[in-house]
Amino acid sequence: MTADPSGRHDLHCHLDGSVRPATIAELAREQGIELDRPVADLVTAPPDCGSLTRYLTYIDLPLRVLQTPGALRRAARELVEDWSADGVVHGEARFAPQLHGQYGMTPDEAVSAVAAGLAEGRAATGVRTALLLCCLRHQTPEESLAVAETAVRHRDVVSGLDLAGDERLYPGAPHRPAFELAHRAGLPCTVHAGEAAGAASVWEAIEVLGARRIGHGVRCVEDDALLERLRRDRITLEMCPISNAQTGAVAGLAAHPADRLLAAGLAVTIGTDARTTSATSLEREFAALRRTAGWTAEQERLVQEHAAAGAFGPATT
């Protein structure tokens, strides 16, 4: 799908990492969840987490409160409102429906709740939205296949399939059946790779799982042949500079490869990853690139053209 390149696009945004802290606090109170610290301390990661594993612990509390259809619907609606305030014209929310069954909610019910919230936000703001479902590397191939089957059942509202998690600890190849099902159904795929692990994980995402987009991909710079493949096939890189620095995927914002990869002709895009976990927005991401890499309106224009060309959705308008 080619979207309008005239506004900002957020192609890499995890719903559970983007719930407003005030909403998390309110949902926790309603659900009788006692917090031993201010909610901001529990859901916002420090500038230097040292690892993706530690970064992900800051999503534990949001997941605890997002175990009902009403909570998921509200979080999705508010995310669209936050995108609108950030100047986003097209936002793609991703989440793992299999993580929301603590009180018996089925994956189908979770998908319907998020889709309804996105639709409410879309109607109120005019922001175009898309929904991606996440398979998880640490889960079994059978669990991932079930996620893909859920995505296909909800093809009217689901625009893509993702594989998330720590690629340093868990390979992607075992999840191939899920991605083969998505391909047969015409559902485009993105894969987190080249973040916690090196260039080999990106090759795996492309050649084994058939990814059209790569989540993060910062370590693709380790392999010139891979860079040429990414450039030749116009495989979109979903880069999230602030979280990449937090997780240690790059040594710091000044070391982020987005600038040189963009200059080299790769399809670089900029996303937020987890707006709450990283206390970020697209404006903050671009401000960081202006400050550390001297980006101007021209680089942002190129990034938005790439994002528009690489967009997966919406499945419905």
Q: Which residues does the annotation mark as catalytic?
A: 195
Rounded Cα–Cα distance for residues 53 and 186 (Å): 32
Tokens at 216, concatenated? 């993060």
Strands 128-136 and 268-270: unpaired
**Rounded-to-10 torsion of CA 60, 64, 67, 70:** -100
The 3 state secondary structure assigned to the chain is: CCCCCCCEEEEEEEHHHCCCHHHHHHHHHHCCCCCCCCHHHHHCCCCCCCCHHHHHHHHHHHHHHCCCHHHHHHHHHHHHHHHHHCCEEEEEEEECHHHCCCCCCCHHHHHHHHHHHHHHHHHHHCCEEEEEEEEECCCCHHHHHHHHHHHHHCCCCCCEEEEECCCCCCCCHHHHHHHHHHHHCCCCEEEEECCCCCHHHHHHHHHCCCCCEEEECHHHHHCHHHHHHHHHCCCEEEECHHHHHHHCCCCCHHHCCHHHHHHCCCCEEECCECCCCCCCCHHHHHHHHHHHHCCCHHHHHHHHHHHHHHCCCCCCC
